[in-house]
Structure 1
Amino acid sequence: MRDKTPTPAAESDFPVKAGKPARRALIAAGYHQLADLTQASDKELLALHGVGPKAIRILREALAEKGLSFKE
């Protein structure tokens, strides 16, 4: 029987549309919530394996909906 405890990815509020590889890369790098991404620039996040331009666009839109943005 599979353990039903939530995985770290399930605890994040990253948009599903960003893709699993991007969400996993962000969590592995220590970012667990959208608000955490305000501490990084889009260029820093693009350097993570699994995070591409599409994920950045989706994350930027999600941040903007909350009145947040990437670090300049």
Structure 2
Amino acid sequence: MTTPLDGLPTIGMPATRALHEAGYDSLREVAAVPRAELARLHGVGPKALHIIEQALGEHGLTLS
């Protein structure tokens, strides 16, 4: 199942909350963010980053 670009993939609540608090509400917005910047967000760990990267890959996108 493909995650829509206007939403976020199913990741843990801490990671989802961290992304929302940082102003990222969709895959489209997250794609423009460097991986290192996302990794610095409290609650966004390696597992969440992997899930985000997989969801972006479904659309032919990567983190910047």
Q: Structure 1 length as normaliser, TM-score?
A: 0.76
Asked which structure has the greater RCO (Cα within 8 Å, sep 6+), the reply is 2
Asked if 1:15 corresponds to 2:12, the answer is no
| Structure 1: gaps of 5 or more residues | 1-11
1:31 alignment partner, one of 24, 28, 34: 24
Query: Where does the alignment leave 5 or more consecutive residues of structure 2 unmatched?
Result: 1-5
Paired amino acid for 1:23: T
For residues 39 and 15 of structure 1, the distance between their equivalents in structure 2, rounded to whole angstroms, comes to 16
Higher helix share: 1
User: In terms of Rg, which structure is larger?
Assistant: 1
Runs of 4+ in structure 1 deviating by more than 4 angstroms, as ranges, are: none
- So what's the TM-score if we normalise by structure 2? 0.85
Matched residue count? 59
User: Share of identical aligned residues, percent?
Assistant: 46
The CA RMSD over aligned residues, in Å, is 1.1
Deviation (angstroms), 1:37: 0.8
After TM superposition, give the deviation of residue 67 of structure 1 in Å: 1.3
